[in-house]
């Protein structure tokens, strides 16, 4: 009994939407914009996460990283992002690095000291270049491929550097930089090696090695009056089974040497995929919020247009009631109409949002993520918007007194 009636409602709704084509299209567009912006934000941020978790998977599941700062999770992490890397002194010391190396089960460990500094060659200047001071183990752990020359090792001079292929072009105008020198922080460095183009600026080290210069830890310390400012320690366990024990031991050891203060975090597996910079989360959250606001605006548009439709069709409502429509029938009639607007807008928004995300991603180094979750969120929210903002007009239609309605003239 109910099935043909639903089909009838859908046909009827499509009919009446077609009659007011212009405003139906405009209202649909309103919802589509909201859903599109949500899709863009989610697919791009999902894309970044996918890139990083893909790397973690590719590097093997025996990697853990130690980062400074109190582990922040949940809502507080979103609302109160800390700027631990950029301006504060790191809580991880060189001693911690040495302690970690001594822990049983640790295959290799590499500290990362990230320095932003201007790089000057005889011909060019790269302002705000990235310098990473580390130990020879990094090339192995992060799987940095060399194109020419060699990575820093235990015998190389502290005034030697390995640079990324793009930095090489920026700095020297050539991709054959070996033997050339550049200055930074008042010191001169000789290039002894160059990486292959990695083209992977988003990774668990938060360093774009194509644009970075890698120094020895000793070389990096000279930027900070001889002390190491370690932003991250990459740890590789001997095998996967050892990793939980290694993490436990690192946590215990560092807590002990930090006098009980838990001012660091040890992350492994998918946790590493959380980008190191918490600003990323804040930006995603704010963007999602803005997208949600535009969706609400789209919803208000639906409600507006549905209220107009209800007012215009007062007599029709009265008549439908007189010929046997129950209040429920009327509610469903108008709800179906707003649902068609919103779900069609959702579909349109999802497709165009994904298109926009792809367009944006041509300027970025990763592709937007296309997961069923994002599709479900986009379509789910649009359906929710349709119900939430269509319900009031539908209830208003159903509550109309048939006698009053039939008396009204248009």
Partner 1 sequence: MAKKKTLPVIELKGLTKKYGMGDAEQTVLDEIDLQIEKGEFITIMGPSGCGKTTLLNILGLLDRANEGEYFLDGKSVEKMSSSRHARIRSQQIGFVFQSFNLINRLSVIENVALPLAYKGMSRVRRLKQASDSLKNFHLSEREYYMPWQLSGGQMQRVAIARALVNNPSIVLADEPTGNLDSKSSHIIMEELSDIHKRGNTIIMVTHNPDLTTYASRVIHMLDGQIASDTKTPIELVKTAPKVSLASRRPKTTRQTKKSKTKAKKK
- Contacting residues toward partner 1, per CB under 8 A: 1-2, 4-5, 7-8, 11, 15-16, 19, 315-316, 318-329, 402-403, 406, 409
Rg (CA), the chain: 30
Minimum CB distance to partner 1 smaller for 210 or for 316? 316
C-alpha closest to that of 332 among 7, 48, 63:
7
Minimum CB distance to partner 1 smaller for 5 or for 241? 5
Name the packing angle between helices 327-361 and 2-19 (round to 10°).
Answer: 60
User: At closest approach, how far in Å is the CB of 333 from partner 1?
Assistant: 10
User: At closest approach, how far in Å is the CB of 392 from partner 1?
Assistant: 20
User: At closest approach, how far in Å is the CB of 312 from partner 1?
Assistant: 10
User: At closest approach, how far in Å is the CB of 351 from partner 1?
Assistant: 30
What token pair was written down for 380? 């789910």
* Cβ–Cβ < 8 Å for 179, 191: yes
Minimum CB distance to partner 1 smaller for 60 or for 402? 402
User: At closest approach, how far in Å is the CB of 337 from partner 1?
Assistant: 13
Minimum CB distance to partner 1 smaller for 278 or for 321? 321
Minimum CB distance to partner 1 smaller for 7 or for 376? 7
Minimum CB distance to partner 1 smaller for 67 or for 400? 400
Minimum CB distance to partner 1 smaller for 179 or for 328? 328
SS3 of the chain: the string is: CHHHHHHHHHHHHHHHHHHCHHHHHHHHHHHHHHHHHHHHHHHHHHHHHHHHHHHHHHHCCCEEEEEECCCCCHHHHHHCCCCCCCCCCCCECHHHHHHHHHCCCEEEEEEEEEEEEEEECCCCEEEEEEEEEECCHHHHHCCCCEEEECCCCCCCCCCEEEECHHHHHHHHCCCCCCCCEEEECCEEEEEEEEECCCCCCCCCCCCCHHHEEEEEHHHHHHHHCCCCCECEEEEEECCHHHHHHHHHHHHHHHHHHCCCCCCEEEEEHHHHHCCCCCHHHHHHHHHHHHHHHHHHHHHHHHHHHHHHHHHHCHHHHHHHHHCCCCHHHHHHHHHHHHHHHHHHHHHHHHHHHHHHHHHHHCCCCCCCCCCHHHHHHHHHHHHHHHHHHHHHHHHHHHHCCHHHHHHCCC
Minimum CB distance to partner 1 smaller for 234 or for 316? 316
Distance CA 243, CA 365 (A): 31
Minimum CB distance to partner 1 smaller for 122 or for 408? 408
Minimum CB distance to partner 1 smaller for 162 or for 325? 325
User: At closest approach, how far in Å is the CB of 386 from partner 1?
Assistant: 22
User: At closest approach, how far in Å is the CB of 321 from partner 1?
Assistant: 7
User: At closest approach, how far in Å is the CB of 336 from partner 1?
Assistant: 13
User: At closest approach, how far in Å is the CB of 281 from partner 1?
Assistant: 50
User: At closest approach, how far in Å is the CB of 14 from partner 1?
Assistant: 12
What token pair was written down for 377? 């969120």
């Amino acid at each position: 009994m109910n099935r043909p009636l639903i089909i009838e409602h859908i046909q009827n709704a499509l009919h009446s939407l077609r009659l007011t084509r212009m405003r139906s299209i405009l209202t649909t567009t309103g919802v589509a914009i909201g859903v599109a912006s949500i899709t863009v934000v989610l697919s791009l941020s999902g894309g970044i996460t996918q890139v990083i978790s893909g790397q973690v998977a590719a590097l093997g599941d025996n990697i853990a990283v130690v980062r400074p700062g109190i582990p922040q999770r949940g809502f507080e992490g979103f609302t109160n992002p800390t700027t631990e890397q950029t301006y504060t002194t790191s809580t991880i010391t060189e001693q911690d690095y040495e302690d970690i190396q001594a822990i049983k089960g640790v295959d290799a460990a590499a500290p990362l000291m990230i320095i932003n500094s201007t790089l000057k060659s005889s011909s060019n200047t790269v302002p705000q270049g990235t310098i990473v001071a580390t130990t020879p183990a990094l090339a192995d752990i992060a799987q940095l491929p060399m194109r020419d020359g060699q990575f820093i090792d235990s015998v190389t001079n502290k005034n030697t550097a390995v640079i990324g292929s793009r930095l090489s072009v920026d700095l020297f105008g050539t991709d054959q930089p070996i033997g050339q020198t550049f200055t930074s922080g008042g010191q001169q460095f000789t290039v002894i090696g160059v990486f292959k183009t990695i083209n992977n600026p988003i990774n668990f080290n938060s360093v774009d090695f194509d644009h970075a210069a890698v120094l020895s830890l000793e070389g990096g310390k000279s930027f900070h009056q001889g002390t190491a400012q370690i932003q991250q320690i990459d740890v590789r366990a001997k095998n996967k089974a050892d990793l939980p024990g290694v993490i436990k031991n690192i946590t215990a050891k560092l807590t002990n040497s930090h006098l009980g203060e838990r001012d660091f975090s040890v992350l492994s597996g998918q946790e590493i995929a959380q980008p190191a910079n918490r600003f990323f989360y804040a930006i995603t959250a704010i963007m999602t919020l803005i997208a949600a606001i535009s969706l609400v605006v789209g919803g208000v548009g639906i409600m507006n247009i549905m209220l107009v439709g209800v007012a215009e069709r007062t007599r029709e409502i009265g008549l439908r009631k007189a010929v046997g429509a129950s209040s429920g029938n009327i509610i469903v009639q108008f709800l179906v109409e707003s649902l068609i607007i919103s779900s069609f807008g959702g579909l349109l928004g999802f497709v165009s949002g994904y298109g926009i995300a792809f367009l944006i991603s041509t300027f970025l180094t990763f592709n937007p993520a296309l997961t069923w979750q994002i599709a479900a969120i986009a379509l789910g929210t649009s359906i929710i918007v349709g119900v939430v903002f269509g319900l009031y007009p539908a209830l208003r239609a159903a509550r109309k007194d048939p006698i009053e309605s039939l008396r009204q003239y248009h």
